[in-house]
A and B are shown apart, each in its own frame.
Chain A
Amino acid sequence: MEQRRKERLDRGIKVRSDGLYALMSWRELSYLTLPRLVLIIGMLMLPFLMPNSYWQRVISIVCLYALLALSFDFLAHFLGLVSLGGAFFIGVGGYLSAIMNTSLGLPPFMAIPLATLLGAGICTLFLLPCLPLRGVYFAIVTLMYPLALARVIEAMDLFGGTDGVLGVDSFPNPWVEQYFVIAMVFLFMFGTRRLVNTDLGLVLRAVKDNDQAVKASGMSITYYKAIAVFIASAMGCLSGACLVHIYMWAGISLFALDFSILPIAATVIGGGGTLVGPVLGCFILVPISELLREFGTLRIVFYSLVLMAFIVFRSEGIMVYGERKYHQFERWVKV
């Protein structure tokens, strides 16, 4: 009987370019760096390619979602925590920056970094109780916070209540706005990528794999999870802080579901665990969502369905699939 099975093998060039030898030939060098260059140059060119200021604004929004998606991907695939509350980070960062700007009179470029750090601290503190545990707790708590916070703000009429904080300063001009957020996406994308390959990143992954052994090695898993949550919420808060300065307004809609579900959808479509995938996913999803703006909440139905389809039928996502095809080939072998 003829029996066959599929086998996956690394391409020779990948094996060689993993080592230092890559520097020896242009072919191998370009094999390594070309994909990255295409991405960087492509993103830097984007604001020029957009037809009008509306679409330029869309690019900024894409980048903000990309930051959120990075934060989701980082937490989910390098720490094993599923955050269903991107809106929580956005809301905290956004409100903080808006208040600092309007009440304390700080200019945007002071308010944004401060709101990022302070907001990340607050979010980490709020999420601290569920960090020692594995499982669905983190997902549940992050799902609840934005809903509950929105209720509290509404009920107690805090920060302008349903009207929100008005009169927030905008960025000096659209170009600054766009290149600032694009730079932030680069910073955090390559930053987290570098981070997960350091020894600290290794420890974080170990926490995901096997927290008992980490404990037995004399390390507090809560501490390391807190570090990672801080980094992730900093990304989210930064995104929220930028958002209020783009829209010049902070309100309860910062806690809206869009901010929670779209980054997840983008990550799943783009390929979780790659850190580039989520950014790519945002570049696909956000423009589509802009086109669907007039349909109202149907957009959310749309993301949910896309998300579901991807998770069920192609759970690895575009990037993982692409990377595999790039680095490996498959062949049928006879047994």
Chain B
Amino acid sequence: MLKATDLMVFYENMLALNNISITCADKQIIGVFGANSAGKSTLMYTLSGIMDDIQKKEGMAGGERITVLGRIQYLERDITDLKPSIRAKRGMVLCPERRRIFNESSVMENLRIGGYLATKKQSKETLDYIFELFPPLQKLKKRIGGFLSGGEQQMLAIGRALMAQPKLLLLDEPLMGLSPLIQSILVRATRKIRDKRGISIIVTEQYARPVLPIVDYAYILENGAAVLEGPHDEILNNPDVRSAYFGVSEE
């Protein structure tokens, strides 16, 4: 479904992504793990095309010179040079780090803005699905986005991304800063989205433990390079990974 080859990203002279190739088959959940500043968000931005936008803005401001190299293939077509909005139109939707919901709009409006690309029928159907997936949102329909708790905001962010009718959903650190309880809800929801709606998902996380049970294939990034990759079981049983990436406090 998605096949990115030899991605390299430079911020000025600093290498942020080093020769990363990543593939995602139909209906798979791919995990990308790595510590802070390992390049997870850069990877997500590059795949979704947001990097294109960042690059343009930086260039105009005379700031860092960002260079992006490599090719991205999606649904058998090369999308490397497409604008992010067109990538979204083709079904590749990013649910960003730190959620970035629309703070001043209500939950319902957030979802309807998310449905910009959807037809009326699709919107209605997806809306029902989101409320089924995240029942708490149902009661908060009228609540202003900025006043939701972190967990509710994350649910809303995922819901909003679903409204854009993705075929491939990119989740950038969906569990960041959330309590273990909310984390488990979100992880289960993620699996349901894949199982019920057949959406492929690429998810990044700093700590592998909460997400690893649901991923089919995982990549581990370190300093911008993929140091390890493999299917679920292999990663799970790798002793190095166990010591380095399973540290999550959970008394």
Q: List chain A positions with a Cβ less than 8 A from chain B.
A: 3, 5-8, 315-316, 335
CB atoms of B67 and A5 under 8 A apart: yes
- CB-based nearest A residue for B65: A6
Chain B contacts with A in 45-72, Cβ cutoff 8 A: 60, 62, 65, 67, 69
Q: How many A-B residue pairs have CB under 8 A?
A: 14
Complex Cα gap A247–B13 (Å): 54
Instruction: State how many angstroms separate the Cβ of B112 from the closest Cβ of chain A.
Output: 29
CB atoms of B60 and A335 under 8 A apart: no
CB atoms of B69 and A3 under 8 A apart: yes
Q: Interface readout for B66-91 with A: 1 if CB under 8 Å, 0 if not?
A: 01010000000000000000000000
Residues of B with C-beta under 8 A to A6 = 65
Complex Cα gap A8–B65 (Å): 10
**12 more A-B contacts (CB under 8 A) besides A315-B60, A316-B62?**
A3-B69, A5-B10, A5-B67, A5-B69, A6-B65, A7-B13, A8-B12, A8-B13, A8-B65, A315-B62, A335-B8, A335-B69
- CB-based nearest A residue for B62: A316
Which 8 residue pairs spanning A and B have beta carbons closest together? A5-B67, A3-B69, A316-B62, A335-B69, A7-B13, A5-B10, A315-B62, A335-B8
Complex Cα gap A8–B11 (Å): 12
14 sample A-B contacts, Cβ–Cβ < 8 Å, listed by A number: A3-B69, A5-B10, A5-B67, A5-B69, A6-B65, A7-B13, A8-B12, A8-B13, A8-B65, A315-B60, A315-B62, A316-B62, A335-B8, A335-B69
Complex Cα gap A250–B60 (Å): 42
Residues of A with C-beta under 8 A to B10 = 5
Complex Cα gap A5–B65 (Å): 10
Instruction: State how many angstroms separate the Cβ of A282 from the closest Cβ of chain B.
Output: 22
Residues of B with C-beta under 8 A to A335 = 8, 69
Residues of B with C-beta under 8 A to A3 = 69
Chain B contacts with A in 206-241, Cβ cutoff 8 A: none
Complex Cα gap A5–B9 (Å): 11
Residues of A with C-beta under 8 A to B62 = 315-316
Instruction: State how many angstroms separate the Cβ of A319 from the closest Cβ of chain B.
Output: 13
Complex Cα gap A335–B68 (Å): 11
Instruction: State how many angstroms separate the Cβ of A335 from the closest Cβ of chain B.
Output: 6
- Could you say which of A3, A5, A8, A316 has the most chain B C-beta atoms within 10 Å of its C-beta? A5
Instruction: State how many angstroms separate the Cβ of B117 from the closest Cβ of chain A.
Output: 32
Residues of B with C-beta under 8 A to A316 = 62
Complex Cα gap A316–B62 (Å): 8
Residues of A with C-beta under 8 A to B8 = 335
Instruction: State how many angstroms separate the Cβ of A333 from the closest Cβ of chain B.
Output: 9
Instruction: State how many angstroms separate the Cβ of B74 from the closest Cβ of chain A.
Output: 19
Complex Cα gap A316–B67 (Å): 20
Residues of A with C-beta under 8 A to B12 = 8
Residues of A with C-beta under 8 A to B69 = 3, 5, 335
Complex Cα gap A5–B67 (Å): 7
Q: Interface readout for B9-22 with A: 1 if CB under 8 Å, 0 if not?
A: 01011000000000
Instruction: State how many angstroms separate the Cβ of B67 from the closest Cβ of chain A.
Output: 4
Residues of A with C-beta under 8 A to B60 = 315
Complex Cα gap A15–B69 (Å): 30
Residues of B with C-beta under 8 A to A315 = 60, 62
Complex Cα gap A245–B220 (Å): 73
Complex Cα gap A3–B69 (Å): 8
Instruction: State how many angstroms separate the Cβ of B128 from the closest Cβ of chain A.
Output: 42
Complex Cα gap A201–B10 (Å): 32
Complex Cα gap A8–B13 (Å): 8
Complex Cα gap A65–B229 (Å): 63
Complex Cα gap A92–B112 (Å): 53
Q: Interface readout for B123-151 with A: 1 if CB under 8 Å, 0 if not?
A: 00000000000000000000000000000
Instruction: State how many angstroms separate the Cβ of B194 from the closest Cβ of chain A.
Output: 34
- CB-based nearest B residue for A5: B67
Complex Cα gap A24–B70 (Å): 47
